[in-house]
Amino acid sequence: MPQQLEERQNLFCLGAGLFFTSSVLHSSHKKGPKMQALGLGRGCIPLRLHASPCRRTASPSPPAPPRPRSVTGLKTCIAAVRASAAQPAQMERKGEVKVVKLRAVEATPESFAPFGQVITASPDGDEFGPHDAQLDLSSGIPRFYIMRLQDRPLEFSTITHHASVTQCLGAIGGQDWYLGVAKPSIVDGASEQSGPEGRKLLQSAAGHCYLPPDPAEVCVFRVSGSKFLKLNKGTWHAGPLFKADAVDFYNLELSNTNVVDHTTHYFKKHDGITFVVED
């Protein structure tokens, strides 16, 4: 503020000087020799104007007294820094994943019954019966194809179900392979709101409602020899898994199953566990 006042005063003094000089010059030109005889006119042109008489030098303001440092505030700051440094370690502890080992069980018509069927070879000429695959392909166009899989070690942390179709899987060549499964959990949204251990009802992108699979109910089957598995609608499954580098499977489902009917549960994300198959 003092600096602005000083600048205004300087401009005022300079303007006054210029006005005075202009008046003198005008009078000298108008009155001519008479003014020169009085010693005015051109003698007034060398008038020197100085703005210094109007300058004001503001006295420097005294420095602000040093602000006392709060001991309590300093301790609070140190505590916050320590808490920030310790946070990643806590997150790592919370992010630990528990590994659950599952012993593989041989798939037989009896052991696999809660999840589907085990289909073995039958003599030529046998009529259709309950030992044959009971299929439901009514929701779309059936797709029967050979699926080549690579690098599928004996471990998994996700599991999937198809709500609108049965599925058949079998290894070409009769190589041993493994499949993790859990019972179907598709429910009527109006009848149930939660399952065992408070597992909440969810709605799939496919439109149906289901309960997430219980990790305690997951089991693994080994499929060996000339047989294939038929999965009931809604059966949770993880795999096929195998020890070889690559295996070809024949697969029977619908043409758009993996696009519109593919619901997945993530054990690592939601339950903090991953499964390893022992065999």
Q: What is the pLDDT of residues 47-66, one digit of tens each?
A: 343 443 334 344 445 555 55
Determine, yes or no, domain membership for 182. Answer: yes
Return the structure tokens found at 100: 């659950």
pLDDT value at position 159? Answer: 98
Determine, yes or no, domain membership for 246. Answer: yes
**Which is more confident, 2 or 239?**
239
**Which is more confident, 198 or 112?**
112
Determine, yes or no, domain membership for 245. Answer: yes
Residue 161: domain span: 98-120+139-277
CATH code, 233: 2.60.120.480
Determine, yes or no, domain membership for 10. Answer: no
Determine, yes or no, domain membership for 195. Answer: yes
Return the structure tokens found at 215: 């990790």
Do 251 and 145 form a contact (C-beta atoms < 8 A)?
A: yes
Number of independent structural domains in the chain: 1
- Residue 196 makes CB contacts below 8 A (sequence gap 6+) with 214
- How many residues are recorded in the chain? 279
Determine, yes or no, domain membership for 62. Answer: no
Q: State mean pLDDT over 35-55.
A: 38
Tell me the average pLDDT of the chain.
76
Straight-line distance from the first to the last Cα atom of the chain, in angstroms, rounded to the nearest whole number: 87
Determine, yes or no, domain membership for 239. Answer: yes
Determine, yes or no, domain membership for 80. Answer: no
